[in-house]
């Protein structure tokens, strides 16, 4: 079953087409990899889907509902979680508080409940605390939960970004370069965490430069200059001469 | 794990309890002041301190969301003028106009903040600065009703007495109630969300925090309380003039918050109290007050970025460092 359907999505920055006429369909439970060189329009595509920027034209349909032009928080409410490539967290909060603060939707307390500290609010907060600790265990950050997020190493901050995105209980998760800048150990842990998340039934779209990520994708789309150039299984992508030329470069052994 | 949470809960509870006892003692001491001093001048200073504590604390509430409201004193002026004009020219009870002033300031705050809600810190500061100047000009230009530059006089007061004691007790109660409400908001999810937006509106949006909703909420709450402070000022002070609410007054509020500590709830309270009460010790040098305040501001900004309230924490850290070194 289709979970998200993108048709003819286009975004111009001035005269430059950052994304031009992209069509992507993602099925439920899939892990879709989105690769391509710098400036290919991958992050722009994420920003368009999550409403951070508005498309020039085109349409995004999530679970049969047109979500084009909605505000970011409305899209989060519908069940699309995302991580950010840079600054993926609230730096001055503790790790635990980062996750607690990301629980806004399920459950959501009304402003009056919150202000008057009603039993509903307190029950919600207790549930949120329990769930947050659960998520921190899932991504392996439980041991640093009471430390400030900004003092954490890069890999932990990235994982915290994933933890935060999981807190909105997403049906679709967009991961923007989840393993960029990580050491090999962290990469393995992160890939494990993504696999576990996928097993929970979350559909995942991930953007990455590192070809190692291909091993967990069901399907890969290669973008360049804002357009989709190839689509196929990880093996097909690795062998495609056009991809090797456009993205991996030509003339030397890529060892992949 | 469960016991860990429980343990942390109990230390938090104990900390809260000592805090509550501390505040209770402080309020008792403040309640005794009219019995200690017979000087109506001292009482006047304390009453002004209470009014401006509400104003500074409400300003800090907006600042936690990452926007610096440089129109804040103008909103206080709006509250003061509304309360003053309604009670003087329309004969409405000052008790009622106090509430009307607060609600009117909140209403204007909400109305204005929708288009400005997504402006970030610096841009919001500029826009609100000019809005404040414009608002004050508008009040001035209402001529007959507001008395132009000279303001309004002979505003009916809340109590028909020359004594300041009833004012002091009423305002002490209003200040305590206002601060309790602001504190409740700050430590609840609402306060955390405001701080989240301040740190990253992108991340906040991605987890479902509506930036506009919470920023408007912050301004609504802040303007309500500063409007209330304005009403209190008008119906206590009897006269109201535009010069009390100009940009300089806003900057004084910023100074109270900065000196006390922007990142701590008690910051504006301590900052206001310090800058109102300290000059009483050098009353003979009154003309130097702005310089002394500026010196304090410079000292605080250079030495303790988180204001005076951060000093105990710094001393503690310093002491622990010394102790740690000596045991090695």
Of A91, A97, A167, the CB nearest to B207: A167
Task: Find, in chain A, the residue whose alpha carbon is nearest to that of B192.
Answer: A101
Domain ranges of chain B: 1-36, 46-327
Domains of chain A (ranges, CATH numbers): 2-90+154-248 (3.40.50.300)
DSSP string, A174-236: EEESTTTT--HHHHHHHHHHHHHHHHTT-EEEEEES-GGGGGG-SEEEEEETTEEEEEE-HHH
Q: Give a three-class secondary structure readout of B240-290.
A: ECHHHHCHHHHHHHHHHHHHHCCCCCCHHHHHHHHHHHHHHHHHHHHHHHH
What is the rounded radius of gyration, in angstroms, for the C-alpha atoms of chain B?
Answer: 21
Q: Which residues of B make CB contacts under 8 Å with A?
A: 1, 5, 184-185, 188-190, 192-193, 195-196, 199-200, 202-211, 217
Contact A109 B189 (CB under 8 A): yes
Which CATH architecture is the domain B46-327 placed in? Orthogonal Bundle (1.10)
* pLDDT greater than 80 at residue A245: no
CB contact under 8 A, A81 and B206: yes
Determine contact, residues B81/B240, Cβ cutoff 8 Å. Answer: yes
> Which residues of chain B fall below pLDDT 50?
1-9, 328
CB contact under 8 A, A76 and B205: yes
Q: Which of A76, A89, A99 to mutate to test the interface with B (most CBs of B within 10 A)?
A: A76
Q: Which residues of B touch A123 (CB under 8 A)?
A: none
Using a 10 angstrom Cβ sphere, with 0-12 exposed, 13-18 middle and 19 or more buried, the burial of residue A254 is exposed
What integer pLDDT is reported at residue A253 of this predicted model?
Answer: 53
DSSP state letters, A120-145: HHHHHHHHHHHHHHHHHHHHT-GGGT
For residue A130, pLDDT over 90 is answered with yes
Per-residue pLDDT of B209-255, as tens digits, reads 998 999 999 999 999 999 999 999 999 998 999 999 999 999 999 99
CB contacts of B195 in chain A (<8 Å) are 90, 92-93
The separation between CA A27 and the C-alpha centre of its own chain, rounded to angstroms, equals 16
SS3 call for A57: strand
Q: How far is A86 from A154, CA to CA, in rounded Å? A: 10
Question: For residue B127, what pLDDT is reported?
Answer: 92
Nearest Cα residue to B189 out of A199, A103, A10, A232: A103
The pLDDT score that the predictor gives to residue A250 is 57
Separation between Cα atoms, residue B30 and residue B52, nearest integer Å: 16
Question: How far does A7 lie from chain B, in Å, by closest CA?
Answer: 22
Among B184, B190, B211, the residue with its CB nearest the CB of A111 is B190
Question: Chain A window 82-141: which residues touch B at a Cβ cutoff of 8 Å?
Answer: 82, 84, 87-93, 97, 100-105, 109, 111, 114-115, 117, 121, 125, 129, 133
Does the CB of A157 have a partner CB in chain B at under 8 Å? no
Q: Does A191 touch chain B (CB under 8 A)?
A: no
| pLDDT band per the 50, 70, 90 thresholds, residue A159 | confident
pLDDT at residue A252, as a whole number: 54
**Mean pLDDT, rounded, of chain A:** 87
Structure ipTM: 0.87
pLDDT for A249: 63
Entry field: residues in chain A? 256
Whether residue A168 and residue B207 make contact (CB cut-off 8 A), yes or no, is yes
Length of chain B in terms of residues written:
328
- According to DSSP, the residues that pair with A12 across neighbouring strands are A17
Say what the pTM is.
0.88
Question: What pLDDT score does B1 carry?
Answer: 35
The residue-averaged pLDDT of A136-142 equals: 87
């Amino acid at each position: 079953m289709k979970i998200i359907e993108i048709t003819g999505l286009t975004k111009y920055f001035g005269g430059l087409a950052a994304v031009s006429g992209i069509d992507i369909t993602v099925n439920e439970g899939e892990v879709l990899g989105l690769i391509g060189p710098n400036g290919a329009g991958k992050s722009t595509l994420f920003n368009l889907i999550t409403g951070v920027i508005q498309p020039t034209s085109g349409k995004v349909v999530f679970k049969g509902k047109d979500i084009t032009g909605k505000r970011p928080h409305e899209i989060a409410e519908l069940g699309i979680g995302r991580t950010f490539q840079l600054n993926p967290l609230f730096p001055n909060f503790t790790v635990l508080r980062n996750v607690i603060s990301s629980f806004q939707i399920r459950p959501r307390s009304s402003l009056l409940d919150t202000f008057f500290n009603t039993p509903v609010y307190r029950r919600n907060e207790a549930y949120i605390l329990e769930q947050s600790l659960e998520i921190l265990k899932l991504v392996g950050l439980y041991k640093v939960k009471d430390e400030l997020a900004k003092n954490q190493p890069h890999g932990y901050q990235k994982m915290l970004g994933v933890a935060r995105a999981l807190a909105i209980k997403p049906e679709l998760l967009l991961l923007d370069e989840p393993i960029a800048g990580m050491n090999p150990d962290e990469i393995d842990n992160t890939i494990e965490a993504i696999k576990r998340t996928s097993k929970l039934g979350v559909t995942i779209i991930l953007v990455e430069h590192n070809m190692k990520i291909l091993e967990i994708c069901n399907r890969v789309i290669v973008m360049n200059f804002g357009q989709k150039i190839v689509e196929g299984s990880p093996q097909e992508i690795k062998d495609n001469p056009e991809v090797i030329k456009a993205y991996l470069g030509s003339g030397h052994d890529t060892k992949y | 794990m469960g016991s860990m949470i429980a343990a942390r809960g109990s230390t938090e509870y104990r900390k809260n309890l000592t805090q509550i006892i501390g505040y209770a003692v402080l309020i008792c001491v403040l309640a005794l002041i009219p019995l200690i001093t017979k000087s109506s001048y001292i009482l006047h200073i304390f009453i002004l301190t209470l009014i401006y504590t509400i104003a500074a604390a409400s300003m800090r509430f907006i600042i936690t969301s990452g926007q610096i409201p440089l129109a804040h004193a103008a909103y206080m002026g709006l509250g003061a003028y509304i309360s003053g004009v309604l009670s003087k020219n329309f004969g409405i009870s000052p008790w009622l106009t106090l509430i009307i002033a607060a609600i009117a300031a909140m209403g204007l705050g909400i109305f204005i903040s929708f288009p400005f809600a997504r402006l970030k810190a610096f841009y919001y500061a500029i826009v609100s600065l000019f809005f404040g100047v414009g608002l004050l000009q508008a009040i001035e230009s209402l001529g007959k009703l507001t008395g132009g530059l000279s303001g309004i006089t002979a505003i009916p007061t809340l109590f028909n007495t020359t004594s300041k004691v009833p004012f002091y007790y009423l305002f002490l109660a209003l200040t305590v109630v206002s601060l309790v409400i602001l504190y409740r908001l700050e430590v609840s999810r609402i306060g955390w969300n405001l701080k989240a937006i301040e740190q990253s509106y992108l991340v906040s949006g991605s987890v479902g925090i509506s930036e506009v909703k919470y920023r408007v909420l912050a301004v609504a709450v802040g303007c309500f309380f500063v409007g209330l402070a304005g009403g209190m000022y008008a119906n206590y002070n009897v006269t109201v003039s535009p010069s009390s609410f100009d940009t300089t007054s806003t900057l004084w509020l910023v100074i109270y918050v900065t000196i006390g500590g922007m990142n701590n709830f008690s910051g504006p309270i301590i900052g206001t109290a310090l800058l109102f009460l300290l000059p009483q010790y050098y009353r003979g040098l009154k003309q130097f007050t702005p310089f002394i305040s500026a010196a304090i501001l410079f000292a605080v900004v250079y030495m303790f970025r988180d204001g005076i309230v951060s000093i105990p924490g710094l001393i503690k850290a310093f002491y622990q460092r010394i102790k740690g070194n000596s045991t090695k």
